[in-house]
């Protein structure tokens, strides 16, 4: 994988295919500013999953929230430190042979998410893994 975008493929950043799909969609349509419900309808995805994914992307600084008539709208608002990495990620994603590396990184980030999302004060198992 390319080390220049590896820091995007981590738990709570780009850790699901849906988040990757949403971010690529906003990247291809930079003027797009839609509510979670509108994005869900446009992409034919689960509305609750889309809302959660958009909020997590906004919290991470990859999308921006703004007030709209429908409530909250999301638009591309990549923080400066992520802009070059996201550009390289998109370029790599456009290569069908390298796209699998990105999907593997997203899958690994998703698997790693379970070890980070445990609440504070969890116990630890015999293997040194958190018990949630």
Tell if the pTM clears 0.85, that is, is over it.
Answer: no
pLDDT digits (tens, 9 = 90+) for 35-75: 999 999 999 999 999 999 999 999 988 999 998 877 899 99
Q: What are phi and psi of 4, to 5 degrees?
A: -75, -15
Architecture of domain 6-116: Orthogonal Bundle (1.10)
Residues near 79 by beta carbon (within 8 Å), at least 6 away in sequence: 61, 62
Q: How far is CA 28 from CA 11, 22, 78, 113, in A?
A: 24, 10, 13, 27
Query: In 3-state terms, what secondary structure has residue 82?
Result: helix
Cβ proximity of 72 and 36 under 8 Å: yes
Domain layout of the chain by residue ranges = 6-116
Q: How far is CA 132 from CA 116, 120, 121, 125, 129, in A?
A: 10, 10, 9, 10, 10
Higher pLDDT, 112 or 132: 112
């Amino acid at each position: 994988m390319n080390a220049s975008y590896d820091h995007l493929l981590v738990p709570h950043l780009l850790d699901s295919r849906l988040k990757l799909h949403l971010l690529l969609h906003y990247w291809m349509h930079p003027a797009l500013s839609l509510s979670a419900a509108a994005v869900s309808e446009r992409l034919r995805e689960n509305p609750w999953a889309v809302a959660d994914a958009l909020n997590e992307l906004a919290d991470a600084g990859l999308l921006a929230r703004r007030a709209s008539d429908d409530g909250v709208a999301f638009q591309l608002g990549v923080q400066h430190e992520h802009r070059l990495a996201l550009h390289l990620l998109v370029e790599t994603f456009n290569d069908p042979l390298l796209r699998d590396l990105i999907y593997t990184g997203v899958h690994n980030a998703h698997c790693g998410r379970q070890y980070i999302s445990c609440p504070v004060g969890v116990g630890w198992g015999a293997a040194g893994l958190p018990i949630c």
